[in-house]
Amino acid sequence: MTAFVDIEDVTLVYKGASGGVHALDRFGVSLQKGEFAAVVGPSGCGKSSLMKLVTGLLPPDFGKIAIDGTPVRGPVKMAGMAFQNPNLLPWRKVIDNVLLPLEIVQPHRSRFRREKERYREEAKALLATVGLDGFAERFPWELSGGMQQRVSLCRALIHQPALLMLDEPFAALDAFTREELWCVLRDLWQKIGFTVILVTHDLREATFLADRIHMMSARPGRLVLTKEIPFPRPRPIEVCYEAAFTDIVHELRAKIGEVRKG
């Protein structure tokens, strides 16, 4: 089967006055359509750089990336993105933050004015799916951090991207809210069926959510191992408290420890 996301042998060097930073070295993984992948690794190993390459915000120095068979040569329209900071615009209501990509990304942009009511209904339905029914007309600063991150997920998904790129989206949340949001993401993914690349430091998060976890070495980031997560779907949150789950987390933690020491 051909891969939906194919990252092949990518190398990235940030050029600078002091000789450059070798961020990624011949990194490669591939994802099937609808797969949930997590990328973990020591701090500074090049995880965010990988996200920039896959979304076409930076070109690799070597190697190639293709999405759905098309080489990435510039910003990728079929990707939605969410980051650690929800980055909502404080002067726009929740619904207008969610609608923002539709004002930018074609073909929605040309239709937006004409079909605004339909789009607003879609945004409200998506907000309801993440538990924010009735919050569409609020401003971001009236919402908790977890609620803002739910809005950020809706904004990433409103244009129905085939690929969702997440860079530490839950890192700033408390442990309970984080687990709640894992379930929100799990449910959205199961309902809609997009492909996900999740960058995270949290090994429990990766093990709960992902089909496969890819571990990177310390910088320059190389692929060290790929771990298949065997728990059946749908996964209840209780799986995180089972011995088999904890064993995987410990195994990954030990491996990251080795990788950090080089």
Of 83 and 135, which CB lies nearer to ligand ATP in the complex structure? 83
Decide: is 48 part of the binding site for ligand ATP (CB under 6 A): yes
Cα separation, 91 vs 9, in Å, equals 43
Alpha-helical (H) ranges within 10-67 are 47-54
CB of 219 to ligand ATP, least distance (A): 5
Decide: is 49 part of the binding site for ligand ATP (CB under 6 A): yes
Cα separation, 70 vs 5, in Å, equals 9
CA-based nearest residue to 136, from 154, 118, 157:
154
Decide: is 159 part of the binding site for ligand ATP (CB under 6 A): no
Task: Report helix angle 175-192 to 145-157, nearest 10.
Answer: 20
Span of 41-49, 106-114, 130-138, 178-186 interacting with ligand ATP by CB under 6 A: 41-49
Of 53 and 209, which CB lies nearer to ligand ATP in the complex structure? 53
Residue 54 token pair: 């896959």
Of 14 and 62, which CB lies nearer to ligand ATP in the complex structure? 14
Cα separation, 195 vs 162, in Å, equals 6
β-strands 212-216, 223-228 pairing: antiparallel
Q: What letter would DSSP give residue 12?
A: E
Contacting residues for 62 by C-beta, under 8 A, at least 6 apart: 9, 10, 11, 26
Decide: is 14 part of the binding site for ligand ATP (CB under 6 A): yes
Decide: is 54 part of the binding site for ligand ATP (CB under 6 A): no
Span of 38-46, 100-108, 204-212, 247-255 interacting with ligand ATP by CB under 6 A: 38-46
Binders in 215-234 for ligand ATP, by CB under 6 A? 219
CB of 104 to ligand ATP, least distance (A): 24
Other CB atoms within 10 A of residue 245 CB: 18
Residue 259 token pair: 């990788």
Task: Report helix angle 145-157 to 116-129, nearest 10.
Answer: 130
CA-based nearest residue to 188, from 134, 224, 150:
150
Q: Candidates 3, 5, 7, 23: give the one binding ligand ATP (CB under 6 A).
A: 23
CB-CB contact of 212 with 198 (8 Å) = no
Q: Candidates 21, 57, 172, 192: give the one binding ligand ATP (CB under 6 A).
A: 21
CB of 100 to ligand ATP, least distance (A): 25
Span of 40-48, 72-80, 92-100, 101-109 interacting with ligand ATP by CB under 6 A: 40-48
Of 49 and 195, which CB lies nearer to ligand ATP in the complex structure? 49
CB of 201 to ligand ATP, least distance (A): 6
Q: Candidates 44, 234, 236, 257: give the one binding ligand ATP (CB under 6 A).
A: 44
**Interacting residue ranges for ligand ATP, rule: CB under 6 A:** 14, 16, 21, 23, 43-49, 219
